[in-house]
Amino acid sequence: MEFKVNSKEFERLLTKIIPAVPSRTPMQILENFLIEIKDGQLTVFATDLEISLKSSLNIVADSNASFVVPAKLLYDVVRSLGETTLNIKVEEKGKLQLTTDSGEYSLSYLDSSDFPEIPSFPGDTVDQEDLKEISINGEELNTAFLYTSFAMSKEEMRPAMMGTLFEFIEEGLRFVATDGHRLVNMLNTNIKHEITEQYIIPERAISVLHKVLDEKDVKIYLSKSHVSFVLSDIELITRLIGQRYPDYKTVIPMENEFLLHVKTKDLHNAVKRMMLFSTSNTRRVKFSIDGDNLEISAEDLDIGASGKESIHCTYEGDPLTIGFNSAYVNDILSHIRAEEIILKLHSPTKAVIVEPKDNKDNLDLMMLLMPVRLNN
Amino acid sequence: MRTIFHLDLDTFFVSVERIIDPSLNGKPVIVGGDPKEGRGVVAACSYEAREYGLHSAMPIKQAYRLCPNGLYIHGHHDEYGRYSKAVKSILEKYAPMMEQASIDEFYMDFTGTKHIYGSMYDFAKSLQKEIWDQLQLPCSIGIGGHKTIAKICSDYAKPNGVTFVMPGMEKEFLAPLPVETIPGVGKVTLEQMHNKGFYKIGDIAAMPQDYFAVAFGKYGIDIWEKANGKGKQYLNPPQERKSISKERTFSKDIVNQKVIEAKLFELTGKVCQILRDRNWQTTTISIKLRYSDFITLTRAKTIPATDDDKEVFETALNLFRKAYTRRVGIRLIGVHLTNFSEFSEQEALFEDEKLTRKKMFRAVNKIRDKFGYSSIGFLPEGKS
């Protein structure tokens, strides 16, 4: 069979799907695209067994076909062509013939039956029981990911933390991410729904979604084991993390009565400079707060370097000296997107609440940071 | 050009033994293993013993065959450390910069001190005299433009002499010496050298460098450079290394691995106690192992910063099990911590087993501080 496609349109399609192709995998077949031509529609699939992506394009074709081609090679070839009409011929004996005005390229393809089954959703391969459905604006989701995704854990010790919690509650949708040392908790009250469950979406799905989301609405189908995000031109299906999310509510301190107001930029710049002086293995910075003065200091015993800076703040509370991992402070300050922030403190060993001074409409953002103990 | 001294205490262990027991003077004395048991090696031997063909590191059995009338002694090892420190403190009065290379070897950089101490040769003589007057220890001193030549000179000066090679005369000085004079040329290399017809350092220096690079690799280039009078001009910077260590010499050699490991556990507990008291964390853990024949090993491993007994012990235990390969009794075992950082411990939002253990150790520390180390201990798993 044979069909024609505009090279630029084909490239755009492949660009959307390539993020699901794993770069290193023991299952070589996953390094391929599954391409299906059915009733004048060309659909490209890719999966790493955790997430799968699918997107389609209308073409003129005389018959149906499905085959598996090396993803990176096909993508690189199509990307290098410039705008032209690409004639694709699926020959027998496993050869795919690509022809342009000036060139002929031949690729090998494999039989599509070797490719793992892609869950179709909502459809018959996924458990339909308890299937929930909701529509959320792409921007709202993207904003939530911007605020929360950095805090997800990268350590496989606690799999539940390697994703973002979507907690559907009466007030809206709450997003929670934590690695056990810091936690971001963001409630969006704009999102209306009638769901009462919670789901843990894996980090890979979040990072791929983050790249493809736009301002259009996203249709989300939630089952007990999988979630499907249907965008206007692409569909992402991901496995859910089937673990219990840690009970984050119990670690949010109630008694943090010392309030520190500070300009985000002032604090951030000082912390970035102190990071240069902190010991590379602990990255410790010290905050000494007394009256309206916040002193930030760091030292590296190994190379004999140290630094300190004072910045102006407003503080209501007892003098306090508290240590942090400077990389975590830097993360929080890079993601909080507020001109002024409030730190709510209690003692040198208890969690610190970091909040924007003014929360945006319909967004309730709270970050938690565990200190580092300065002495035993 | 720099002025480097290399001071080497002559037959150091034997000299110390002769201070302790003057009746050993003038006799062939061998410090090391017990020839009757037939274990161990010669740690040091007197010049009188060397006349019989003995040298250090020779198996004690062989030494006994060559010199059955020698006086074989086990040695007072703690005394050696004391005397070495005493020598060091004399040298420290004069040397602007010093590097202790071993228990009985010191490099000193006296560059630019001519105006203070006068002639370097006479000054070396006076140093030698001061060490003899105060400690009755003979030593040899080599003076040269870099470390290698200074070391060769001190060897050349033995016993109890001073050799000074004028800067620029290194090559001429070295040329007639046998190749084994070059530090680092051992038995194997020496044989290879002889096979290729190199007997004197001058033979090596006369060849192009490329030849040595091809024949002996990188090591060959190093030898060729030394033969041509080149060497390292600068001392290793004084290492003011902070460390915490505990060692235990057993009253009799221990063969039972369980006993040694139990001692290792106790020593680890003690060093970790000090570590926590100083509010530090360690990243490098070393163990020291001395077999009954005085062969001593040290092994080290770097791990993420910790002050946790369990982590330190597990690391030390692994090092010990890997290092303890000979079926010979153990005389000494030690644990050594270095590379510290200020205490810094990330608090966690959600408690886990590791955190619980940390809290337990914190409590153990408090009890031990108050009631002594043995007031609280650990039971082996499964016992209660």
Contacts of A298 in chain B (CB under 8 A): none
* Interfacial A residues in 218-277 facing B (CB < 8 Å): 246-248, 251
Residue pair B39/B18 in contact (Cβ under 8 Å)? The answer is no
Residues in chain A: 376
Q: What is the pLDDT of residue B383?
A: 59
Structural domain for A193, as ranges:
132-249
Same domain, B60 and B118: yes
Same domain, A8 and A106: yes
> Is residue A142, in this structure, part of any structural domain at all?
yes
> Is residue B238, in this structure, part of any structural domain at all?
no
Same domain, A235 and A137: yes
Boundary residue ending a domain (A230, A249, A268): A249
What is the full DSSP assignment across B23-46?
A: GGTTS-EEEES-TTTT-SBEEEE-
Q: How many Cβ pairs closer than 8 A exist between chain A and B? A: 68
| Token couple for B119 | 């002639």
Same domain, A143 and A187: yes
Same domain, A243 and A276: no
> Is residue A58, in this structure, part of any structural domain at all?
yes
β-bridge partners, A341: A262, A356
Examine the residue annotation and report whether B105 is marked as an active-site residue of this protein. yes
Contacts of B283 in chain A (CB under 8 A): 281
Same domain, A233 and A266: no
Q: How far apart are the CA of A153 and the nearest CA of chain B, in angstroms?
A: 13
Same domain, B128 and B219: no
- φ, ψ of residue A134 to 5 degrees: the values are -155, 155
Same domain, A241 and A139: yes
> Is residue A281, in this structure, part of any structural domain at all?
yes
Same domain, B206 and B155: no
> Is residue A126, in this structure, part of any structural domain at all?
no
Which CATH number fits the domain that encloses residue A220?
3.10.150.10
β-bridge partners, A178: A183
Same domain, B293 and B207: no
Q: Between chains, do B305 and A282 touch, taking CB under 8 Å as contact?
A: yes
> Is residue B140, in this structure, part of any structural domain at all?
yes
Dihedral sign of CA atoms A110, A111, A116, A122 in order: positive
Boundary residue ending a domain (B120, B145, B166): B166
Same domain, A232 and A272: no
Boundary residue ending a domain (B166, B198, B213): B166
Structural domain for B154, as ranges:
1-166
What is the residue whose two structure tokens read 């219990």?
A: A244
Q: Between chains, do A302 and B341 touch, taking CB under 8 Å as contact?
A: yes
Same domain, A80 and A163: no
Contacts of B346 in chain A (CB under 8 A): 181, 325, 370, 372-373
Same domain, B265 and B219: no
Cα–Cα dist B181/B163, whole Å: 14
Q: What is the pLDDT of residue B38?
A: 63
Number of domains in chain A: 3
Residue pair B231/B4 in contact (Cβ under 8 Å)? The answer is no
Dihedral sign of CA atoms A359, A360, A366, A369 in order: negative
Print the SS3 string covering B59-117. EHHHHHHHCCCCEEECCCHHHHHHHHHHHHHHHHCCCCEEEEEECCEEEEECCCCHHHH
Residue pair B315/B285 in contact (Cβ under 8 Å)? The answer is yes
> Is residue B265, in this structure, part of any structural domain at all?
yes
- A346 lies within 8 A of chain B by CB: no
Q: Is the pTM of this model over 0.95?
A: no
* Interfacial A residues in 189-208 facing B (CB < 8 Å): none
Nearest chain A residue (CA) to B274: A376
Task: Write down the catalytic residue from B105, B180, B261, B266.
Answer: B105
- φ, ψ of residue A237 to 5 degrees: the values are -115, 130
Q: What is the pLDDT of residue B268?
A: 95
Which CATH number fits the domain that encloses residue B186?
1.10.150.20
Same domain, A298 and A322: yes
Same domain, A148 and A209: yes
Number of domains in chain B: 3
Same domain, B222 and B155: no
Same domain, A42 and A149: no
| Closest by Cβ to B342, choosing from A181, A301, A368 | A301
- A373 lies within 8 A of chain B by CB: yes
Residue pair B136/B130 in contact (Cβ under 8 Å)? The answer is no
Same domain, B9 and B146: yes
How far does Cα B98 stand from its chain's mean position? 16
> Is residue B383, in this structure, part of any structural domain at all?
no
Residue partners of B370: CB distance under 8 A and separation at least 6? none
Report the candidate in B270, B338, B274 with the shortest Cα–Cα distance to residue B301.
B338
> Is residue A27, in this structure, part of any structural domain at all?
yes
Boundary residue ending a domain (B115, B133, B166): B166
Q: What is the pLDDT of residue A119?
A: 80
Cα–Cα dist A114/B324, whole Å: 53
- A180 lies within 8 A of chain B by CB: yes
Q: Which helix (H) or strand (E) holds A113?
A: none
Same domain, B153 and B179: no
Same domain, B161 and B178: no
Write out chain B's pLDDT in tens, 384 residues.
889 999 999 989 999 999 999 998 888 999 987 777 766 778 889 989 989 988 887 888 888 889 888 888 888 888 888 999 999 999 989 988 888 888 899 999 999 888 899 999 999 999 999 999 999 999 999 999 999 999 999 999 988 899 999 888 888 888 899 988 888 787 778 888 888 888 999 888 888 888 888 877 777 888 888 888 888 878 776 555 578 899 888 878 888 999 999 999 999 999 998 888 888 889 899 999 988 877 888 999 999 888 888 889 999 999 999 999 888 889 889 999 988 887 887 888 887 777 787 778 878 888 887 888 888 887 776 655
Same domain, B277 and B212: no
Q: Which of B277, B344, B359 has the highest number of chain A CBs within 10 A, making it the mutation to test binding with A?
A: B344
Q: How far apart are the first and last CA of chain B?
A: 69
Same domain, A108 and A190: no
Q: How far apart are the CA of A325 and the nearest CA of chain B, in angstroms?
A: 7
β-bridge partners, A218: A136
Residues of B with a Cβ under 8 Å from any A Cβ are: 276, 279, 281, 283, 304-305, 307, 339-350, 362, 365
Burial class (CB in 10 A: 0-12, 13-18, 19+), A162: buried
Same domain, B115 and B1: yes
Q: What is the mean pLDDT of each run of 10 residues along chain A (376 residues)?
A: 93 93 90 94 94 93 91 94 92 91 92 87 66 93 95 89 96 95 95 92 94 91 92 93 93 93 96 90 90 91 82 95 95 95 94 93 94 83
> Is residue A120, in this structure, part of any structural domain at all?
no
